[in-house]
Chain A
Amino acid sequence: AQSVTQLGSHVSVSEGALVLLRCNYSSSVPPYLFWYVQYPNQGLQLLLKYTSAATLVKGINGFEAEFKKSETSFHLTKPSAHMSDAAEYFCAVSENTGFQKLVFGTGTRLLVSP
């Protein structure tokens, strides 16, 4: 069975500071990994995905993530936080076979202060 652990239910940063949101996964088969962002009362928007190509993945809005197999990690980073980045972030894993249902972590709420 697959699972995702997101360390830290809340992360607070100042505007302009580095954003680091942590995600560790467990999967018995090579995984696909995703980061989604959710604004209040909205659906999920895909930030970036890893599907066994380059281990450093660049996404929208300046976010990127690095797949590290040895650490079973897929941490999300952004060099400089903007106020508009304040939202809930979800890491998800799926198998690279079958119908690829997503298994989500519990989410990390990013708070950005001026």
Chain B
Amino acid sequence: DTGVSQDPRHKITKRGQNVTFRCDPISEHNRLYWYRQTLGQGPEFLTYFQNEAQLEKSRLLSDRFSAERPKGSFSTLEIQRTEQGDSAMYLCASSLIVGAYEQYFGPGTRLTVT
């Protein structure tokens, strides 16, 4: 068990460019979550997958954001036409459906939009 991994760890992009992040959850975990954390704040929920189905999206997830989990394993989060306000740490977490319910977090992808 290698834990949740995220790639890249850091991304610097110019405003208006598209970016894509990847998350690999713990292998037996059915649930996968994306959160966003801005400076000085706690993480905020963005979206959630159970297996390959995206079951919940936050109002924070504008039309420029899209997430997929095509085979119920890894997930991608794409941001189109990035804005400076998108600069944040994007965190991925995974959990089991039953049991202790704790979410295990990856190291995050820090996005800087210039």
Residues of A within 8 A of B (CB): 4, 9, 32, 34, 36, 41-46, 49, 51, 90, 92, 94, 99-107
Contact = CB atoms under 8 A, between A and B. Distances in A.
A105 B40 CA distance: 11
Classify chain B: how many residues form its interface, as a range. 20 to 34
Given A99-B55, A103-B45, A45 B105 contact: yes
Contacts, number: 62
A99 B41 contact: no
Interface of B: 4, 6, 31, 33, 35, 40-45, 48, 50, 55-56, 91, 93, 95, 100-108, 110
Contacts of B101: 32, 49, 51, 94, 100
B37 to A, nearest CB: 8
Given A101-B45, A101-B48, A105-B42, A44 B105 contact: yes
A94 B105 CA distance: 16
A102 B103 contact: yes
B91 A43 contact: yes
Contact of B107 (A32, A42, A90): A42
A49 B43 contact: no
Nearest to B101: A100
A49 B102 contact: yes
Contacts of A34: 102
A22 B1 CA distance: 33
A102 B41 contact: no
Given A99-B50, A99-B55, A100-B101, 7 more contacts: A4-B42, A36-B105, A42-B107, A43-B6, A44-B93, A46-B103, A90-B43
